[in-house]
Copies of this chain bind each other. A is one copy, B any other.
Amino acid sequence: MRIEELETPIGVVDLDRLSANIERFQTYLDSHDIDNRPHIKTHRIPAIAHMQMEAGAVGITCQTLSEAEVMCSAGIRDIFLPYNLLSKAKLRRLMLLSRRAKISVTADSARTVAGYAEAAAQEGTVLPVLIEMDGGYERCGVTTTEGVRELARQIDSASHLHFGGLMVYPSNPESNAFMGESKMLLAQDGLDVERVSGGSSFVLWQAHEFTEMTEHRAGMYVYGDRNLVDAGVMTLDACSYIVLATVVSRPTDDRVVLDSGSKSLAADGARQSPGHGLIVEYPDAEIFKLSEEHGHVDVSRCDRKPEIGERVSVLVNHCCVSNNLFPRIVGHRKGEVELEWPVLAKGW
């Protein structure tokens, strides 16, 4: 069966490109002696996680407990969960998970550390906790070296916690100073930083410039998307994930409508290019608006214009959120369908 026979919209993955992307990045990290701990939130597919492990990853990164539970059930036993887990229910699930896999987590507040300490003591296990530091992007993370020191002391003094190191997102070279100063301060307390976890696909090939890093978390490099192409991180012909769509309407000469909207392409904006994804066959077209099941496309700049019924390939702006909208993803080689993967690791 050819992908041209699949009903649209559907997310498809070029398996040759997928393997090549996994190999290429693993080789790069290996050459710089940086551990690879890929983020599986991009694909949420155990089979791809296993491909990453077989290529040399030391473990995986999950963003939710549900992702971790599915991946653990699928046989992956070294999981990093860089998230502040707070509620009793989530801490209980974390402890159950820690019986079956090597788990590490992060915290950026005394409140989070206290929860881990109590849960681990009750479970009678030792939980490695890394401190999340602010990478300068107004996300989670401790913002001062003194804050890092306080939290490290709290972790180190808890009977059932182990100070596991430092974590930052994104890991731009600009984070080197904050990281280096924090390490010096911790050294004064006799605390060794055994692991510095960095990440972001946008600094994929600059990972080695963040010299403090011992392991890298990246998700999107397996697929690629328009934002990564715009950023110069991946070339269009390396991108493995595409949404196949069909032109269902052409209300005017200059406007066509696809059967893919915010429920398949996702409404996340592009960082650079205008619109909601690149139509590979019509690079001059612009998906200027999404409704839920329609993508509205300006084709006024196209010499040749797509016809009703024509199939096109959309490189989405953000692969992680689009992949999440599909119940299953089709894998192919040169257009020949080889498999279907359920997108299993969903939820919280």
Contacts and interface: CB of A to CB of B under 8 A. Distances in A.
Contacts of A259: 348
A114 to B, nearest CB: 10
A159 to B, nearest CB: 22
A292 interface: yes
Interface in A237-272: 246, 248-252, 255, 257, 259, 262-264, 266-269
A210 interface: no
Interface stretch (A122-130, A137-145, A174-182, A190-198): A137-145
Interface string A139-161: 11111000000000000000000
A191 to B, nearest CB: 22
Interface in A70-93: 83-84, 86-87, 89-90
A171 B90 CA distance: 46
Contact of A246 (B64, B86, B142, B294): B86
A207 to B, nearest CB: 20
A324 interface: yes
A147 to B, nearest CB: 9
Interface size class of A (residues with CB under 8 A): 35 or more
Contact of A9 (B257, B263, B291, B348): B348
By CB atoms of chain B within 10 A, which of A89, A262, A269 has the most?
A: A262
Contacts of A41: 292-293
A303 interface: no
B8 A348 contact: yes
A34 to B, nearest CB: 23
Contacts of A141: 249, 251
Interface in A314-348: 320-321, 324-325, 327, 346-348
A324 B263 contact: yes
A340 B269 CA distance: 33
Given A249-B109, A348-B9, A262 B87 contact: no
Contacts of A10: 348
B321 A142 contact: no
Interface string A80-122: 0001101101100000000000000000110110000000000
Given A7-B87, A87-B309, 11 more contacts: A8-B87, A64-B293, A108-B251, A109-B250, A143-B251, A262-B266, A262-B321, A263-B324, A264-B348, A266-B267, A293-B348
Interface of A: 5, 7-10, 41, 63-64, 83-84, 86-87, 89-90, 108-109, 111-112, 134, 138-143, 246, 248-252, 255, 257, 259, 262-264, 266-269, 289, 291-294, 296, 308-309, 320-321, 324-325, 327, 346-348
